[in-house]
A = this chain, B = another copy of it.
């Protein structure tokens, strides 16, 4: 096992990249999907299950963990890996995104942001330095700079102000992070839907020679085409030898399209959240188990899957569990969804290695589009 953090490009197919991040806690095969373990748990999953699906890394949220159970407490208990029984790599976000989306009465200044907890209304302060300190207390392997993530559409002047602030915070974050062997601090490209601002942000971050780069502030409501165009315009300004992480994205289609433009890492609550709300992702597309047409369907979600949740339980049973609001419904659909996401990532990686990524995308999309019709015709 290495004691260094490094990234190796193993293969390329067009702009799509097959790589490997090595860390002392394990190797991350890219393109990678990182299940979201918000408060130290990938909701409704045992950690061993998440791992067995092929997850090399999970994500933890600074915002949630700093409020409960608290970063100092997690540190006292041996860090997030030991606390959450996940000895493999963990990426933590900086807390900035949730401060904007979840907390109330937030007040942003040059130095940082003050906000009220959505849990108990208590007041908290997050600065670039405090975010790095929290991520260090959690013992996170890949740490993110604090940034200001604004909603789109927004005024260009406002986008530029937030992007410039995020750049200054990137410098402070990198300085606070210092030299942590085996770990990484990633910068975050901002700039909204303004190509020149995105490029300026990427170039200035690239000049800081960070260990990896994220693209933030996308998939916040804009059309997919805008997101993909922004990626196409931005990514050439990031160094090819560093991993590229598209934050909070996305649907299976978002992922295959973003990989085609050169993204290496993803995280999204979609497979877990949708699973708790009765929605299954499969190679035949999305299936809403709440729908009455599944009530007497004895077929499983995917009889060819290795995942028991996808293969062994009938749609009729899943429909019943979802309708009856039974915990097992969310457990099984979350499991199915993460299994599908991770099998999609495995397929993506193989296709890039084989130089057949375009074919893979076409076949995968055809499967989604044939959908249930294909299953019924079979």
Contact = CB atoms under 8 A, between A and B. Distances in A.
Interface in A52-86: 64, 68-69, 73, 76-78, 83-85
A317 B73 contact: no
A76 B317 contact: no
Contact of A85 (B73, B85, B313): B313
Contacts of A43: 326-328
Given A316-B83, A321-B41, A324-B68, A296 B73 contact: yes
A262 to B, nearest CB: 35
Given A69-B316, A85-B313, A316-B69, A298 B77 contact: yes
A37 to B, nearest CB: 10
Nearest to A326: B41
Given A76-B296, A85-B312, A313-B85, A328 B69 contact: no
A41 B328 contact: yes
Given A68-B320, A84-B317, A78 B331 contact: no
A76 B298 CA distance: 9
A46 B49 CA distance: 12
B78 A298 contact: yes
Interface residues of A, number: 38
Given A77-B296, A77-B298, A320 B39 contact: yes
Nearest to A83: B317
13 contacts: A39-B320, A39-B326, A40-B321, A41-B327, A41-B328, A43-B327, A44-B327, A44-B328, A44-B331, A69-B319, A69-B320, A77-B314, A327-B331
A45 interface: yes
Given A45-B328, A69-B319, A85-B317, 6 more contacts: A40-B321, A43-B326, A44-B331, A69-B320, A78-B298, A84-B317
Contacts of A313: 85
Interface in A321-355: 321, 323-324, 326-328, 330-331
Candidate in A85, A296, A319, A324 with the most chain B CB atoms within 10 angstroms: A324
Interface string A122-144: 00000000000000000000000
A40 B324 CA distance: 10
A361 interface: no
B327 A327 contact: yes
Interface in A18-51: 39-41, 43-46, 48
A100 interface: no
B314 A73 contact: no
A295 interface: yes
